[in-house]
A and B are shown apart, each in its own frame.
Chain A
């Protein structure tokens, strides 16, 4: 295996109640590159992301192999994968009662950063994201709009500083201004040589601001096409049916 590869997926099969969700997905992702995964609703995009992240209810069938930075992580718990540098933004992050984003980050980074350091970074990044300054003082996601939730996911990603970022529909339910802010933030923080970005989206919209290195198309649990950014434009015009 090439040292250049960040992630290798081999033969990922996933079934839910006898329904096949993922069918023999194999994929290699290169370090420092950005990817977009597109595909119709229910094609298995988010499931694939959860398999990579290691959600306990998204364990692939036997015979699957997941290798991250030359280490096999198949079967490894979700928190251990997070500590290895994998981050998956949540499509619908839960509302917390008494936990602020700073509390979460402080616990996650207890051995790396002080609370004051974290709070400073959170304040700075929330300005960049044009978040209401009172929001970060409230429990995470409490009384937050859809767009604010997405921004809070990005804020966490920027502070946790993972090597591999999966952003799952970070552009859904976001207005035009927020989309612009979000795209700029992604470009500034995650389009870097030491990071690999894996963007999952339905829409071409975000790609007006971000140009991915490679576009992958998923349909019915398989990755059926791959190409450069012009493929995304084609899909926008013609839909998925022609593939």
Chain B
């Protein structure tokens, strides 16, 4: 472990008053940053100083600060969640940077993620896609017997790897095309490998894909940049699985969309 050190950093932070403001970079000189701080704690220090000076603090998203809630965002020196693999911004420590380093901090960029203020973007589009996916049929009543529904270890692991998605949207932010394919793939894949998820498999994938297009996400270019920046290291295997599910549901004629159900 590195011993604690004080860093003097030069930050270029995207400041934008509201959604209609043009926005631009503001330079901040930040001395006295402990190398043991997280990136968000460094922003807390900066904001305290800004408040003391009577300036508007930098708005940024955060919640659990434990790397599991998916709230924190920020593109740090051209990489969502910063330069370390498999971590969120809140778990990125300042020891990753060196004294005197210039750091550019930008919001997640996607036409489906409008900037609310500064580094805060509206990621509601991801929630609306989950909503479009609909429900999972579950029998209510008495608790089922343990092991009454056998699931192989392999399938359970594949499902769990996909379910690790925290919905932060780094995949979209990293994608040249602003595609949400990795997020969507994770949602489809986590159900696909479990018997409980198979009842609605056809309409789920069709409705989620349709919603992704409506929200204005781009199309996947198979560049795997999302896989490389995902803090939960979800593989692009889930994207191929989503495509298989979509092709299957389309060409078996069972991709019953919400609109079709209304007609009958």
Q: Do A and B bind each other?
A: no
Report which B residues bind A (CB closer than 8 A).
none
Q: Which residues of A contact B (CB under 8 A)?
A: none
